[in-house]
Structure 1
Amino acid sequence: MVKISILIPVYNAKDFLYDSIPSLLNQTFTDIELICVNDGSKDNSLEILNEFASKDSRVKVIDKENGGCGSARNRALDEASGEYIYFFDPDDMIENNALELAYDSAVKNDSDVVIFKANIFDKNGISNRETFFNYNRTIDKKDFGNLSFNHIKRYVLKGGYAPWSKLYRKDLLDSYEDFKFNLGLAFDDVPFHVKTMLRANRISFINKFLYHYRVDNVNSVNSTSSNGFDIFKIIDIVKDILIKEKCMDELKKEFTIFQVHHMLLYIISTNSADYYETTRQRFKKIDGSYLKDNIYLKSYFNLVLEYEDYDEFKPQYEKLVLENKIMRYENRINKLKKDNSKLKKENYQLEKENKNLKKINDDLINSNSFKITKPLRKIKNVVNK
């Protein structure tokens, strides 16, 4: 048994493999196996994978017919022998000490799941914008070594669904029969994420950027125009999970925001009257009061309910997007004005204090005692030299 099994679904990734695979093989943590599943690639990805396997015994290659990312990950899971499981996408990169830090955290904290932060990169380099797994911003906890179930439950549906910023204890995955990725669906990592976050007893978080997610891969399968309809199925699957795990009552608000947000996310990119109508009918069954604290989401939600026809809705939606952008900018400007006003007051106080200190200093210099002791100070300075 190795310590970490790294599972890599590969589809037409020839342009990236000579960068991504070495970032794994050159890890400071070496007790690993790479299970690379060639998912019916039409380029020479399989040839490149076999080349790596011929040079490093830790690389194992499985060739199968195309079935999608989920099927490739499931196949790799069946073959994995590691104490921990790590999923990796073949067009991305990882810091060379990422697995060492993740494994040490898992062992130290007895964690079922270890989470670390990810940023984005393209041909221009890495951007340190915090784009994934920003628990340090959302959870009021100084010690990120262990996040208990109660600490993160309300954040389970707020993003960070991808599995490549998490290290999983294999015993956790093996203890449930349904720890598989849904087949034939886009966004299949969402249900997997929800199940692991709800079922993990102990979760640790590393407040560092260890994973770099590529955003300029033109061959990426994440096409919202063609996959948008799958979000309805994903929402239903997540709903069933919450009910099964007896969390729906507690997470009713979070689930409402989750489904409204995701249906709206693809309402324009699909550009479909059928998608719009499905969204509208679902919105009619949703209690909008759960959105009262999110004025932007609430405004889009109400707009969908207001317009029956997609062609009438679309220009109003675009107008609302612009209005909300203006509102955000105005709010930001108002905040900056308040901050500036506060800084002006602080600056005024500092100037006032500085003026008082200067007056005290001038009074001291001009005092008789200061003048009388001047010769003594000169003698002291000579002695000190």
Structure 2
Amino acid sequence: MNYLVSIIIPVYKTEKYIEACLQSALAQTIAEYDSSQTIEIIVVDDGSPDQSIERIQPFLFSHPNVRLLRQENSGQSAARNHAITVAQGEYLYFLDSDDLLPHNAIEALYQLAKQTGSEVIIAQSKAFNKNRSWFIEDHAEVASSAFRQVNFNDQPILVKTTPPWAKLYKTEMIRQHAIRFPEGIGLAEDWIFVLHALSQANHISTTPDITYLYRGRNDVDNLSCTQQVNHKVFHDLMQVYQLTKKFSLPAEHQRLAKYFIIKSLLHRLLKLAKSCSLDTALPTYQVLATFLKIETKSEDWAVLSEHAKLVLDLLSHDLYLAAHHAAQHRYKMAWLTGTGNVLPATLFSRYQTTYKHTRFLPLKRIKKRVQSSLTLSAWRIKYQFAKILAGLYPKNGKIILIGERLGKTANDTSYHFFKHCQEDDSTQAQYFYTIQRHAPTRKKIHSYRNIVDYGSLKHFILFHRASAYVFSDNMRDIFRQWKRVHAEHAHKKKIFLQHGIFALNRAKGYYDRHSMEQRGERPDCFVVSSEFEKTLVCNQFDFQEEEVVVTGLSRFDNLPTTRSQPSGAILMLFTWREWLEKMSPEAFEQSDYCQKIVELIHHPMLRQMHAQHGLKITLCLHHKMAQYVQHLPIIENVRIVSMSDSDIQHHIIQADLMITDYSSAAFDMLYQNKPVIFYWFDHQAFFAKRGGPLIHPTQDMHDSIAYHCENALNLVQEAIQHQFNITQIQRAWAQEFFSHKDQNHSQRIKNKLQQLL
């Protein structure tokens, strides 16, 4: 029988996981057919000594499309190669026996393969463990690019997608070019298979759909190959680098390949230094030093941290003692000067500077621990005292505690919901809003009752007395030490209002059901704006349908549903980049993020349009950017405000056009049928960090996205010419996100909360 897809699963010592793995594979469907008709599952027993095969046997009897191949223990590569020779599927898919497939994973890949004709399809993957889930940056960057029919040599970032999983391969292409996994290598050997397949494919397409769930495990008695640290691991990585050379990669591809190997070696080098003595590690250090001197230059390490660069530099100069201790953040000038080697002045200076900066770190750490201990003790006393006081109050009526952004603002969905509850005379429960005493936006709610200082004794008492919590970001909006006390309050209802429609940002897996559950934050009610967004949240964040409620966002209540006469107001609103945090002002000024914003507001095209049309331009800065405001040039006719101390919604209502990157505030504009220009000057890096979008932007939003400043300003010019009317294409895809357009969003949320109570 010929199948559409063959799923290949090598098995070795995964008895704890193989059943769940097989169940996830058998749950796959393609074009409404069940897996028995379309998907072949080939399990390869690589001489597994545990009970894995016994766990597999029942599947063989009940599912005719599950096949078992057996071999003596020869390694994962040999097992995969064995399966490739007998696979009957039109396409191949590789699944590790401790990992899982999400719902509809194979169908998403297969449909894209048929649409594009690409011989390799690459998708998004998500990692998870018992505590959290996250996205792997390099994989996310490639998948989120949503390439269509691209050539490998034209896209260097394809080198970054190293594992064979979360990919679909045309079987005929694999066999025609004799593409196989190198045997005898235990780590990163599958990357060679991937590079070979990518280089031979007619073209490649990628998708942000999540089609693989990678289990991050740390079984003490059965470490995965990616967690092992021994001499062979380093030898394997260096051998893999040599194998990459056979593909004659373009220069940028080879640079990225080298960087991947350097990062992998460094990661394990730091582990090695902490886990064994210098004498044990010395043979490995010597081999590494030779590799670094022959195959790399210091420029290859330029983007690494200062600590990493110093360790590699010491190693490449045969300073094994200093490198061994530097890897553990320990420094002594004697380890450097006692070698008798002639050192480059720059290396000596960097080591000396690091030594001076770190010599008192142990004392500073002790001081910090003492201060933290005292602060925690004071908090515990206050918490327990508040608990006693809370018990003295009569238990009449329900108390709902509301907060946002760690008590720093009254701007977003929590504020708008509280405002509605305070103005609604039919309210029976008591709604309290907690906010820091000196928060700039507190003035917006000073006339309302039930305002509580965040962190005060009254706040602690109300936290104990509350029947429900309403938050827009995380439960620290309600109580800063939530992590320490969540188990005690797990029985209370939690309403997650979110602070913007989920479409362009997976937020690094922060809001998926598993991650929120591990933080004790899984909501009883996850508020969304439409049935379409509900489907996204259920499919991609793994929430159950009954946990997600379509009410619309509370802040939409204040948005007008009819447009006023355009006044030429343009609002620029850019989201923050977490990799900019703790950056010096000088470094921030040189960052691509700052440079792109400055280029936009300073561009001659924008100034010309302002002169011709009398534009009113407002640049609204993220609250974390406030410390860098003075480093932005003062541009005449561009008003700069901060979202931490201004009414964002007022600016959104006044604006005729928004220029943003990935802000969910774009949907507040689209709700009003106002045009939005998405200026994605760093989309690959951003999506790599955040896990990519939930939708397919290049399909749904193609007329709204600009990747260069001039393109963005051309779209501004078009908007002006069309009197700031939204395009039909943008209006059509935006409407999927709004099931309600009225002033009753908060009331629907309130009704749902009352049902829960």
SS at match of 2:108: helix
| TM-score normalized by the length of structure 1 | 0.78
Match of residue 177 from structure 1: 178
- Give the alignment partner of residue 133 of structure 2, picking from 117, 127, 131: 127
CA contact (8 A) 1:147 1:205 kept: no
Deviations 1:18-76 (A, max 9, x none): 21111111112230111101111222211221210100100001122211211111111
Measure, in 2, the Cα distance between the counterparts of 1:230 and 1:339: 42
Of 64, 73, 78, the residue aligned with 2:80 is: 73
Q: Which runs of 5+ in 1 are unaligned?
A: 356-385
Query: 1:8–1:34: 8 Å Cα contact kept in structure 2?
Result: yes
Look up the match of 1:167: 168
CA distance in 2, matches of 1:128, 1:257: 22
Shift of 1:282: 1.7
Unpaired runs of 5+ residues, structure 2, are 332-353, 359-578, 589-621, 631-639, 652-757
8 Å Cα contact 1:67/1:184 also seen in 2: no
The residue correspondences of 1:271-310 to structure 2 (distance < 5 A) are 271=276, 272-285=281-294, 286-294=296-304, 296=306, 298-309=309-320
In the alignment, is the contact (CA less than 8 A) between 1:27 and 1:98 conserved in 2? yes
Q: What SS does the corresponding residue of 1:100 show, helix, strand or coil?
A: helix
Matched, 1:148 2:143: no
Is the 8 Å Cα contact of residues 244 and 257 (structure 2) preserved in structure 1?
Answer: no
- 2:583 aligned residue: 331
Q: Is the alpha carbon distance of 1:18 and 1:291 closer, same or farther for their aligned partners in structure 2, counting shifts above 3 Å?
A: closer
Map of 2:214 onto structure 1 = 213
Report the counterpart of residue 187 of structure 2 in structure 1: 186
In the TM superposition, residue 250 of structure 1 has moved relative to its aligned partner by 5.1
Specify whether residues 227 and 6 from structure 1 end up closer, same or farther in structure 2 by C-alpha distance, changes over 3 A only: farther
Contact persistence 1:186–1:227 (CA under 8 A):
no
Give the 3-state SS of the residue equivalent to 1:318 in structure 2: coil
| Residue 146 of structure 1: how far off its partner (Å) | 3.3
Contact kept? 2:241, 2:261, Cα under 8 Å: no
The structural deviation recorded for 1:255 is: 3.8
The alpha carbon displacement at 1:166 in A equals 0.8
For residues 95 and 180 of structure 1, the distance between their equivalents in structure 2, rounded to whole angstroms, comes to: 25
Q: Per the alignment, do residues 161 and 252 of structure 1 end up closer, same or farther by CA in structure 2, a change over 3 Å counting? A: closer
Q: Which residue of 2 aligns with 1:267?
A: 269
Offset of residue 194 of structure 1: 1.9
Once the two structures are superposed, the pairs formed by residues 321-360 of structure 1 within 5 Å of their partners are: 330-331=582-583, 339-341=625-627, 345-347=640-642
**Number of the residue aligned with 1:32:** 39
- Of 55, 79, 82, 2:89 maps to 82
Given residue 51 of structure 2, which amino acid in structure 1 is its aligned partner?
A: N
Amino acid at match of 1:97: N
Question: Which letter does structure 2 place at the counterpart of 1:48?
Answer: R
Give the CA deviation at 1:89: 0.9
The percent of aligned pairs where both chains have the same amino acid is 23
In 2, Cα distance between equivalents of 1:136 and 1:262? 19
1:260-288, CA deviations, whole angstroms, 9 ceiling, x for partnerless residues?
A: 32322222334411111111122122332
Give 1:251 deviation, angstroms: 3.6
Deviations 1:140-165 (A, max 9, x none): xxx5343332443x22443x321111
Cα shift at 1:134 = 1.4
- Preserved contact between residue 239 and residue 248 of structure 1 (Cα < 8 Å): no
TM-score, L = length of structure 2: 0.42
User: Secondary structure at 2:325's aligned position in 1?
Assistant: helix
Q: Give distance in 2, aligned partners of 1:68 and 1:192.
A: 15
Alpha-carbon distance in structure 1 between the residues aligned to 2:218 and 2:287: 31
Aligned to 1:5, the other structure's residue is in SS state: strand
C-alpha separation in 1, matches of 2:624 and 2:52: 56
| More moved, 173-182 vs 89-98 | 173-182
Paired residues, what number?
Answer: 346
RMSD: 3.5
Residues in 2 aligned to 1:217 and 1:350: alpha-carbon distance in whole angstroms: 47
State the Cα distance separating 1:86 from its structure 2 match: 0.4
Q: 1:44 to 1:312 in 2, by over 3 A?
A: same
Aligned with residue 315 of structure 1, among 315, 325, 348: 325
Quote the Cα distance in structure 1 between the aligned partners of 2:258 and 2:111: 37
Structure 2 vs 1, CA of residues 71 and 123 (structure 1 numbering), >3 Å: closer, same or farther? same
Cα separation, 1, equivalents of 2:143 and 2:114: 25
Aligned AA (1:45):
S
Cα distance between partner residues in 2 of 1:178 and 1:28: 27
SS at match of 1:168: strand
Tell whether the 8 Å contact from 1:39 to 1:66 is kept in structure 2 after alignment.
Answer: yes
Q: Which amino acid aligns with 2:9?
A: I
With 205-214 and 289-298 compared, the bigger mean Cα shift is at 289-298
Query: Residue 204 in 1 paired to residue 205 in 2?
Result: yes
The 1:288–1:132 alpha-carbon spacing in structure 2 relative to 1, beyond 3 Å, is: closer
d(CA) in 2 for partners of 1:267, 1:54: 46
Q: Distance in 2 between matches of 1:293 and 1:284?
A: 18
